Amino acid sequence: MNTLLPVRPSPADCTCFRVRSAARRVTQIYSKHLAPTGLRISQFSLLGFVTAQGPVTITELADLLATDRTTLTRNLRPLLSSGVIERATAVDKRRHELVATPAGRALFKRALPLWAAAEQEVRTAMGTKLTTDLHGALERSMEKLAAL
Amino acid sequence: MNTLLPVRPSPADCTCFRVRSAARRVTQIYSKHLAPTGLRISQFSLLGFVTAQGPVTITELADLLATDRTTLTRNLRPLLSSGVIERATAVDKRRHELVATPAGRALFKRALPLWAAAEQEVRTAMGTKLTTDLHGALERSMEKLAAL
DNA sequence: CGCTTTTGCGTGCATATACACAGTAATGCT
DNA sequence: AGCATTACTGTGTATATGCACGCAAAAGCG
């Protein structure tokens, strides 16, 4: 299990750099497709989770999305002000439960085929095997790195 | 090559979401290690490329890092003001050539073992095979997606 | 019941990211 | 040389990201 580092480590060998580069690249592609909806890809994900998970708190959402809680506070802002997500009053007054509004569910429904087109474009470009490999590697990596 | 999408697409199946989640996770790990240097991982990468590539322009750097050019303009700001990178006067007055200062090279040298520790921690957690798989999948993905 | 601890959130600060647009310098062409 | 084109860069605007810190509500305990 002694994974040796390259002899002359370079920033280009950095796992972090590679994952971040890939994230920037795919973000551009998805954003291009989703532009007509006015949603960024992160907003699409956020709206999707809120739509699917029903009433959910920011902390729960942070776990699902592997994002910092305080990041979500801000990322939710445009979605709250545009009325696609709203706060529900919870019994526990500390909890700020979030639900998708009818307009939010409609928007997500409209955005879904555009997301699918982006996903299809990426998967077609990569091919079936690479898509499977990438998803598998990312999935297993997240599991291994969750413990750290 | 007809890569079928899942029957009921969910944001969690999104390639973009997965890559972005992974990027957030690894960023946290590297940042933790690099904190004593005052460098973020993106700044470490930036400084590394400038140190290695010698005089380089923002546009060239943008290609190397797969980042938007205007992002680099801003990302360079803290590195310029802290004096680890400086502008060199080029013959072509449009070009803003960047070089690492002696302080910058020294800082990078100090940061290198901390980066190596982060890289080692990640690779140890993932294991040799998964590390190879992930790097390979990311590498090939970037190639395939570069054309889009 | 009153006090301490825990839990759920938001803010201040700093950086990261990229699109649309604009400015300036070099180049090419007539 | 003069003008159009191309190349290199910065800014305005908006979102994304997370750490340190502080606030309020609920829970636990004597």
pLDDT, tens digit (0-9, with 9 covering 90-100), for B128-139: 999 999 999 999
Q: Which amino acid is present at A94?
A: R
Q: Is the pLDDT of residue A28 over 80?
A: yes
Q: What is the mean pLDDT of residues B31-40?
A: 93
pLDDT of residue A121: 93
Q: Is the pLDDT of residue A3 over 90?
A: no
3-state secondary structure of B115: helix
Distance between the alpha carbon (CA) of B67 and the C1' atom of C18, Å: 9
Beta pairing partners, A100: A85
Contacts across the A-B interface (CB distance below 8 Å): 212
Kindly report which listed range (A2-6, A45-49, A67-71) carries the lowest average pLDDT score: A2-6
| Alpha-carbon distance values, A82 to A14, A50, A111, B15, B23 (Å) | 39, 15, 15, 26, 28
3-state secondary structure B76-91: HHHHHHCCCEEEECCC
Give the tens place of pLDDT for each residue, A32-43.
Answer: 999 999 999 999
Q: What are phi and psi of A13, to 5 degrees?
A: -85, -5
Distance from CA of A102 to the nearest CA of B (A): 19
Residues A134 and A129: their CA atoms lie apart, in Å, by 9
Q: Is B49 in contact with A11 (Cβ distance < 8 A)?
A: yes
Q: What is the mean pLDDT of residues A111-115?
A: 94
- Give the model's confidence band at A107: pLDDT under 50 very low, under 70 low, under 90 confident, else very high: very high
Would you say the C-beta of A24 is within 7 Å of strand C? yes
Give the tens place of pLDDT for each residue, A80-99.
Answer: 999 999 998 878 888 999 99
Distance from CA of B15 to the nearest CA of A (A): 7
Q: Is the pLDDT of residue B5 over 60?
A: no
The beta-carbon neighbor of A141 closest among B66, B120, B130 is B130
Apex A132 CA angle, A128 and A136, nearest 5? 175
Beta pairing partners, A101: none
Kindly report which listed range (A7-21, A83-97, B110-124, B132-146) carries the lowest average pLDDT score: A7-21
Contact call for residues A64 and A50 (beta carbons, < 8 A): no
Q: For residue B121, give the nearest of B22, B26, B19, B24 by alpha carbon.
A: B26
3-state secondary structure of A7: coil
3-state secondary structure of B121: helix
- Give the model's confidence band at A132: pLDDT under 50 very low, under 70 low, under 90 confident, else very high: very high
Q: Is A22 in contact with B148 (Cβ distance < 8 A)?
A: no
